[in-house]
Amino acid sequence: MAADLEEKTDRYEGLLAEALDAASVAPPEGTPMHDAALDCEEMASSYLEDGRHFRDDDDLVNALASFSYGHAWLDAGARIGLFDVPTEGHLFTV
């Protein structure tokens, strides 16, 4: 079971990092929606950093949770139009 958790944690980290690279803020600067997009992007990035910290401490459960939460921030933002994201592929559910 530990090997499965380790593989899944590594995979989710990669997915979150890739999703952060693929997402771009959609609303124009100076609008409340642009600010909301930046907040979501910051949350996702923070969860990526937190997950890496947990993984470095061999806390794979919290690392996986952090990577999952971070991706959820991006996915939700993409759904409501805060981000331009690829519509094909495995990164987003749009």
The conformational region for residue 24 under phi > 0 = left, psi -120 to 50 = alpha, else beta, is beta
The set of residues, in sequence order, having a beta carbon less than 8 Å from that of 74 and lying 6+ positions away, is: 16, 19, 20, 23, 40, 41, 44, 83, 85, 92
The set of residues, in sequence order, having a beta carbon less than 8 Å from that of 66 and lying 6+ positions away, is: 47, 48, 50, 51, 54
Tens of pLDDT along the chain (94 residues)? 567 999 999 999 999 999 999 999 999 999 999 999 999 999 999 999 999 999 999 999 999 999 999 999 999 999 999 999 998 888 988 7
Instruction: Return the pLDDT at 63.
Output: 98
Sketch out the chain's domains with CATH numbers. Answer: 2-84 (1.20.1270.90)
Instruction: Look up the pTM and report it.
Output: 0.91
Instruction: Return the pLDDT at 1.
Output: 59
Instruction: Return the pLDDT at 88.
Output: 87
